[in-house]
């Protein structure tokens, strides 16, 4: 079995871990939440790149066989450098699902809700340029990540802020919205409350985990088994809180897994 490192600026990557536990429960996981530094999305490119590198080096030093950069912002700013430095292990990133969105949209108008850093990045700009026939309404979700980190994904304040952010997307007539930040799948319920059931919401967790599986198979490290592996929750802020939020936010049943939680102050 493989040891898989998953990291995000906070609890957002739990949406990826959740899917990984659904598809590949037999592996062991380390989930690293850098919550002391969340949100990343409003920080500089250099800061995001160097912090992401530091965290991936830490995960590699723990013996991870693969690392999931479960953060669109870190993927946009740092994945090329991380792959370069850690060339002996697969590094799987996550990008806003604008390709599936363009394919699924019937009117060709798609909203993209992501962090400011993701929307401004060269990687995202290059991705957009590959789909000239679709109209993308880009919207930075400023302020949403801290509310989700505080356990307020369905709170009144979140609904109000979300309504403001969704207005330009709604006004443009989008029939599809890309959840371009791994925190945002935890807003599905709130978005449905505001926009109803007909809006198509896209996140890429399923595709990202399938990619992880392919990489593990290529290395001979994936074997189907009926067992559940372990999960180590590491937080730079509050490990118990992270474990608790994982139980609240994820659909996966954590009971069968051997769980540990740990506060780490320095990743050097």
Terminal-residue alpha carbon distance, the chain: 27
How far is C-alpha 22 from the geometric centre of its chain's CA atoms? 16
CB-wise, 2 or 121, nearer to ligand DGL? 121
Among 35, 52, 115, 121, binds ligand DGL (CB under 6 A): 115
Among 73, 139, 204, 236, binds ligand DGL (CB under 6 A): 73
User: Considering the rule CB under 6 A, would residue 139 count as an interface residue with ligand DGL?
Assistant: no
In sign, the C-alpha dihedral spanning 206, 60, 243, 237 is negative
> To the nearest whole angstrom, how small is the minimum distance from the Cβ of residue 39 to ligand DGL?
3
User: Considering the rule CB under 6 A, would residue 41 count as an interface residue with ligand DGL?
Assistant: yes
Return the SS3 of 257.
coil
CB-wise, 93 or 229, nearer to ligand DGL? 93
> To the nearest whole angstrom, how small is the minimum distance from the Cβ of residue 157 to ligand DGL?
17
The Cα 257–Cα 204 span in angstroms is 24
Is 134 an active-site residue? no
Tell me phi and psi for residue 119, to 5 degrees. -65, -30
> Residue 80: CB partners within 8 Å, gap ≥ 6?
none
> Residue 24: CB partners within 8 Å, gap ≥ 6?
4, 209, 212, 213, 216, 222
**Residue range at the interface with ligand DGL (CB under 6 A); choices 19-27, 69-77, 188-196, 251-259:** 69-77
Question: Does the bond joining 104 to the residue before it have cis omega, within 30 degrees of 0?
Answer: no
**Token pair for 223:** 């074997």
Return the SS3 of 236.
coil
CB-wise, 41 or 229, nearer to ligand DGL? 41
User: Considering the rule CB under 6 A, would residue 186 count as an interface residue with ligand DGL?
Assistant: no
> To the nearest whole angstrom, how small is the minimum distance from the Cβ of residue 154 to ligand DGL?
18
Is 228 an active-site residue? no
User: Considering the rule CB under 6 A, would residue 52 count as an interface residue with ligand DGL?
Assistant: no
Q: How many of the other CB atoms lie within 10 Å of CB of 253?
A: 11
User: Considering the rule CB under 6 A, would residue 181 count as an interface residue with ligand DGL?
Assistant: yes
Among 2, 6, 14, 38, binds ligand DGL (CB under 6 A): 38
User: Which residues carry out catalysis?
Assistant: 71, 181
- The site for ligand DGL (CB under 6 A) is made up of 8-10, 12, 38-41, 71-73, 115, 118, 145, 181-183
């Amino acid at each position: 079995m493989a040891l898989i490192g998953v990291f995000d600026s906070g609890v957002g990557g739990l949406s990826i871990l959740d899917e990984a536990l659904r598809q590949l429960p037999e592996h062991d996981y380390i989930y690293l939440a850098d919550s002391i530094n969340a949100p990343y999305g409003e920080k500089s490119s250099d800061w995001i790149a160097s912090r992401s590198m530091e965290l991936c080096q830490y995960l590699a030093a723990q013996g991870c066989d693969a690392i999931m950069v479960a953060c669109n912002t870190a993927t946009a700013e740092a994945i090329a450098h991380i792959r370069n430095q850690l060339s002996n292990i697969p590094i799987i990133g996550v990008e806003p699902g604008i390709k599936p969105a363009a394919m699924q949209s019937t009117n060709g108008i798609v909203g993209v809700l992501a962090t400011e850093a993701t929307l401004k990045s060269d990687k995202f700009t290059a991705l957009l340029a590959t789909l000239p026939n679709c109209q993308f309404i880009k919207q930075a979700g400023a302020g949403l990540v801290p509310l989700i980190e505080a356990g307020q994904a369905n709170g009144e304040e979140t609904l109000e802020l979300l309504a403001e952010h969704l207005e330009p997307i709604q006004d443009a007539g989008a029939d599809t919205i890309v959840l371009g930040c791994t925190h945002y799948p935890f807003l599905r319920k709130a978005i449905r409350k505001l926009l109803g059931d007909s809006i198509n919401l896209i996140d890429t967790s399923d595709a990202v985990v399938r990619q992880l599986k392919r990489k593990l198979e290529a290395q001979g490290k994936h074997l189907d088994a009926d067992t559940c592996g372990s999960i180590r929750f590491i937080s730079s802020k509050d490990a118990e809180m992270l474990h608790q939020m994982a139980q609240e936010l994820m659909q996966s049943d954590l009971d069968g897994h051997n769980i540990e939680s740990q506060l780490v102050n320095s990743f050097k």
